[in-house]
Amino acid sequence: MDHHLILRVVTRLLVAPILLFGLYVQFHGDFGPGGGFQAGVIFAVALILYGIVFGLSRLRSIFPDRWVMRLLAFGLLLYAGVGVVSLIQGGNYLDYNVLLPSAKAGQHYGIIVIELGVGITVFGVMMAIYYGFAGRPPSIEDTDW
Partner 1 sequence: MIDLSSGLGWLTWDFLIDAMSWVLIFSGSFFLFIGSLGMLRLQDFWSRLHAASIIDSAGVGLLLFGMMLQGGFTLATLKLAFIVIFLFITGPTASHAVANAAFVSGSRPMDLVEDVTTKRKRKKKVGKK
Contact (CB, 8 A) for 123 and 76: no
Task: Please list every residue from 23 through 82 that binds partner 1, using CB under 8 A.
Answer: none
Q: Is 123 exposed, middle or buried (0-12, 13-18, 19+ CB in 10 A)?
A: buried
Q: How many residues does the chain have?
A: 145
| Contact residues for 60 (Cβ-Cβ < 8 A; gap 6+) | 131
Among positions 7, 56, 80, 84, the unique one binding partner 1 when judged by CB under 8 A: 7
Q: What are the angstrom distances between the C-alpha of 82 and each of 75, 92, 103, 134?
A: 11, 11, 15, 34
Contacts with partner 1 by CB under 8 A: the residue count is 8
> Using the rule CB under 8 A, is 105 a contact of partner 1?
no
Region binding partner 1 by CB under 8 A among candidate stretches 2-10, 77-85, 104-112, 126-134: 2-10
> Residue 124: what residue type?
G
Tell me if 93 sits within 8 A of 80, measured CB to CB. Answer: no
Residue from 1, 2, 13, 57 touching partner 1 (CB under 8 A): that is 13
Give 66 or 144: the residue with its C-beta nearer to partner 1: 144
Q: What is the nearest approach in angstroms of partner 1 to the Cβ of residue 99?
A: 31
Q: Which of 12, 17, 23, 92 binds partner 1 (CB under 8 A)?
A: 17
Q: Which is nearer to partner 1, 4 or 70 (CB)?
A: 4
Q: How far is the CB of 9 from partner 1 (least distance, A)?
A: 9
User: Any contact of residue 88 with partner 1 (CB under 8 A)?
Assistant: no
Q: 16 near 42, Cβ under 8 Å?
A: no
Contacts with partner 1, residue ranges (CB under 8 A):
3-4, 6-7, 10, 13-14, 17
